[in-house]
Amino acid sequence: MRSLIYEKHELIRYGFIQLLKDMFPVEYCLEAESPEAVESLLDQYSFDWLFINGEELDRETTGGMIDAARSGNPAVKTVLLHNAGGKADLSFLEKKRISGVAGTNEPVEDLMKVLKGIEEGNIRYSFAHNSGPDSAGALSQSGVLTRRENEVFVHLIRGYSVAESARALGISLKTVENHRNSLRAKLKVTSQKELMSAAERLGYIQFKS
């Protein structure tokens, strides 16, 4: 792994670097505290992972970092970091082909799942809440989705494959597929974009306006 982390807080950078070293063979892991430092490092090195906490940056600056990293390596995996209560921008995630979104305050176990999924080629958005607007699962309580459909729904918007959901929930691939088809019909969605919009409307995820 050759990674670059843009994050202003030193302790957060340190924690991510240690986590990456624990999970992957690391060739080098460089860090930057300013957009200028990112630009300088991108001129000197090629990276296959780019982590950006762009909450204090405008979209143009964040997008410029991503484009510059891809000019050196078109296959670079791009992960946006967000602080507690942070939001994401769905159109930006799609336009810039973001590999994943991770919270800087998340449990290590959750971050490891996100990074492992991205490494395997999946898209992972960790800002999807486990049970929607409340801890009991509002969709389940209202009768819109069953408890199991609620769990599959969260996996779906986080980017889990059918096989990953089946393993995590201890059910068959066919059962996961049936739950996916059922919840899509109940929520009246036919595309991933409609699914993500429904997840935002129902309080499972938050996007910037």
| CATH code, domain carrying 33 | 3.40.50.2300
Longest dimension (CA), the chain: 55
What is the tens place of the pLDDT at every residue in 109-155? 888 888 988 998 887 776 555 444 443 355 554 568 888 998 899 88
Q: 206 lies in a domain?
A: no
Q: What is the predicted pLDDT for the residue at 133?
A: 45
Residue 21 lies in a domain: yes
pLDDT for res 127: 58
Question: Are residues 35 and 77 both part of a single domain?
Answer: yes
Long-range contacts of 119-124 (CB under 8 A, 24+ apart): 119/24, 119/77, 122/159, 122/160, 122/161, 122/164, 123/98, 123/99, 123/159, 124/99, 124/100, 124/158, 124/159
pLDDT at 143: 62
**CA–CA separation, 32 and 20 (whole Å):** 16
The pLDDT of residue 92 is: 82
- Is there a single domain that holds both residue 35 and residue 87? yes
Residues 121, 145 within the same domain: no
The H-or-E segment that residue 43 falls in is helix 35-44
Looking at residue 4, what is its pLDDT?
Answer: 97
* 15 in a structural domain: yes
The confidence score (pLDDT) of residue 55 equals: 79
Low-confidence spans in the chain with pLDDT less than 70:
84-88, 126-143, 206-209
Instruction: Supply the range of the domain harboring residue 150.
Output: 138-201
Q: Residues 164, 105: one domain?
A: no
* pLDDT score, position 84: 63
Identify the DSSP state of 104: T
